[in-house]
Structure 1
Amino acid sequence: MSTEPAITDNPDADRFEIHVGGELAGFAEYKLKTGQISFTHTEIDDGFSGQGLASRLVRAALDEARGRGLAVLPFCPYVRGWIAKHPDYVDLVPAERRAGFEL
């Protein structure tokens, strides 16, 4: 079994999930509305912390949002901080909601 992280959208649970070795390592919860996705909470299990999994998960989730043409509302502090550190993703956030991003 591969230990390479696998990231999938689980729309039934309203979250993107990251699995390592077949085990759920973490997730990024969201609320989906027409044309937008609101990220509300990101969590990585303590047993998987320190491996950069949250960053990989958020990047994949944001790439999926971009591919689907969704505006991103980063209510989750981790997602918001990640976008602030990666300015090439700020365009996903509606212009009127970008206040506070340090670019």
Structure 2
Amino acid sequence: MTEFRDVSDANRFEQAFADAEGETRTVFADYAIQGDSRVILHVEAAPELRGGGASGRFMQALAEHARAGQLKLIPRCGYAVAWLKRHPEFSDVVA
């Protein structure tokens, strides 16, 4: 796993994880900016990572990043909406 990062020039959060064969694959979230909020438009994991928990670990890193940076998240992507509902400990970062 690599460090979570904000690729601000592409309006994308991303993090790399190793798949079952040890290859590096990426989970990312495209976002739009609304003041101090980030509208999470789409979350996607490489097919090789699906079902292994990488997307959940990515969402946790995203929520922690938002908290540390005093950002609010506005989830529009179905996965982001569902993940944040299942993790009320991050309700403080949801706008």
Please say whether Structure 1 and Structure 2 have the same fold, judged by a TM-score greater than 0.5: yes
Q: Indicate the percent of aligned positions where both proteins have the same amino acid.
A: 29
Specify the alignment match of 1:101 in structure 2: none
Q: Higher RCO, 1 or 2 (CA under 8 Å, sep at least 6)?
A: 2
Deviation by residue 1:39-83 (Cα, 9 ceiling, x = unmatched): 110000111212111011111111111111112111111111111
Candidates 5, 8, 14, aligned match of 1:17: 14
Matched, 1:71 2:68: no
Q: Describe how 1:1-80 pairs up with structure 2 within 5 A.
A: 5-6=1-2, 7-21=4-18, 23-80=24-81
| Secondary structure at 2:10 match in 1 | coil
Offset of 1:30 from its aligned partner? Answer: 1.1
- Compare CA radii of gyration and give the structure with the larger one: 1
Q: What is the aligned partner in structure 2 of residue 93 from structure 1?
A: 94
Q: How many residues align?
A: 90
Unaligned 5+ runs, structure 1: 95-103
> Do the aligned partners of residues 88 and 36 (structure 1) sit closer, same or farther apart at CA in structure 2, a change above 3 Å counting?
same
Cα contact 2:45–2:55 (8 A) shared by 1: yes
Please tell me whether the aligned partners of residues 70 and 92 of structure 1 are also in contact (alpha carbons under 8 angstroms). Answer: yes
